[in-house]
């Protein structure tokens, strides 16, 4: 009996669980997990190192590495690129199609994790948890008076799966929900108690503004100095989506000047632009900023789900099948030309 040749799959992410490994291996895949230094992500790997790791790979489960045309043209064997996440601004989708490869995202895997994280940041800011601990560490036990999420107005920018997850969670706090999106679903709004409004109204009326929009040309630096000035001085900004949605320098100035009350930040402009590193450090030093290192999606449960979705997408492509349409961002199979 002829044994099916092994297909090599490279994983350049941490926390790849045993269930997902077993799934790949049971489908004839030889799995290699890249060794990353402490604090290093695959987005930090030089292209030469990626080329070395991917030289004989058929599938790639990737996190934040840039998937470029130059990289893909030098990897003729590679067939499947599966992002363990839902953002794909670092993937050159045109190059994927032109090179005859398939790229996917892990739709639905981390929705709950990020929605939880957004609510956690609202609670931490309102109840001044970080500030209170810092005071206690320094011997100060005076109470830092906070505010409730209960009954407040939550403004959600972007109403995809994560935004809707925040709606469900906010309902448990009897919060009023405003939403701004380019494609309002009026039937859903009626059922969920969501009021769709323009951006200016959302900024002016919300006690918490939380971002769940994709990073596109039209949303880049959506929250700038003018937008921050429209918010209440008692309001909080939450960003668990993409750093490029917020002008971090304008946010820093707004926080220093008391334009808004605080911010919860899981993502930063400095992740893609080192020129903003000093701004990030200044934001982290503020007592009214709650910050995490782009970890909103990183729960054990969320990563297990996204790992498995990515693994299933890779196997489908290597088997000549089509992954779920909601996961496919580029499919160049059968494309015999170099142009679309």
Is residue 271 part of the annotated active site? The answer reads yes
Which among 187, 242, 253, 300 is annotated as catalytic?
A: 242
Say whether 233 sits in a helix, a strand or coil: coil
Q: Name 193's Cβ contacts closer than 8 Å, sequence gap at least 6.
A: 171, 177
CB 69 within 8 A of CB 92: yes
CB-CB contact of 84 with 63 (8 Å): yes
Residues 6+ apart with CB under 8 A from 235: 206, 207, 208, 209, 260, 261
Choice among 161, 271, 281, 339 that is catalytic: 271
49-59: buried (b, 16+ CB within 10 Å) or exposed (e) per residue?
ebeebbeebbb
* Positive/negative CA dihedral, 216, 218, 220, 223: negative
Judge whether 64 counts as a catalytic residue: no
Distant-in-sequence, close-in-space partners of 74: CB < 8 Å, separation ≥ 6:
51
Q: 3-class SS at 315?
A: helix
Residues 6+ apart with CB under 8 A from 304: 17, 19, 20
Spatial separation of the C-alpha atoms in residues 121 and 210, rounded to whole Å = 10
Q: How far apart are CA 246 and CA 40, in angstroms?
A: 24
DSSP-derived letter for residue 316 is H
Query: Of 294, 301, 305, 340, which one is the catalytic site residue?
Result: 294
Sheet holding 80-83, edge to edge: 29-33, 7-11, 59-62, 80-83, 102-104, 328-331
Strand partners, 298: none
| Residues tagged active-site | 242, 271, 294
């Amino acid at each position: 009996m002829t044994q099916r040749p092994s297909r090599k799959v490279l994983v350049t992410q941490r926390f790849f669980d045993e269930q997902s490994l077993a799934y790949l291996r049971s489908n004839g895949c030889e799995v290699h997990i890249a060794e990353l230094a402490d604090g290093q992500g695959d987005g930090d790997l030089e292209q030469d190192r990626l080329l070395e790791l991917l030289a004989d790979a058929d599938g790639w489960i990737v996190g934040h590495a840039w998937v470029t045309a130059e990289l893909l043209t030098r990897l003729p064997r590679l067939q499947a690129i599966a992002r363990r996440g839902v953002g794909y601004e670092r993937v050159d989708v045109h190059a994927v199609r032109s090179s005859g490869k398939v790229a996917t995202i892990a739709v639905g895997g981390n929705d709950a994790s990020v929605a939880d994280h957004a609510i956690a940041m609202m609670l931490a800011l309102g109840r001044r948890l970080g500030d209170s601990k810092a005071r206690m560490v320094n011997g100060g036990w005076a109470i830092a008076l906070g505010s409730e999420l209960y009954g407040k107005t939550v403004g959600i920018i972007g109403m995809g799966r994560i935004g809707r997850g925040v709606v469900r969670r906010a309902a448990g706090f009897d919060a009023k929900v405003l939403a701004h999106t380019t494609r309002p679903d009026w039937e859903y709004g009626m059922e969920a108690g969501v009021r769709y409004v323009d951006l200016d109204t959302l900024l002016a009326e919300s006690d918490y503004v939380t971002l769940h929009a994709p990073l596109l040309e039209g949303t880049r630096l959506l929250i700038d100095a003018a937008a921050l000035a429209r918010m209440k001085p008692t309001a909080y900004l939450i960003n668990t989506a993409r750093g490029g949605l917020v002008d971090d320098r304008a946010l820093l100035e707004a926080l220093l000047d008391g334009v808004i009350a605080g911010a919860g930040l899981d993502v930063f402009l400095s992740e893609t632009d080192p020129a903003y590193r000093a701004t990030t450090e200044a934001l982290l030093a503020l007592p009214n900023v709650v910050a995490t290192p782009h970890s909103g999606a990183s729960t054990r449960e969320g990563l297990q789900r996204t790992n498995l979705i990515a693994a299933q997408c890779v196997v489908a492509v290597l088997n000549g099948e089509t992954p779920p349409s909601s996961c496919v961002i580029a499919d160049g199979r059968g494309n015999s030309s170099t142009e679309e």
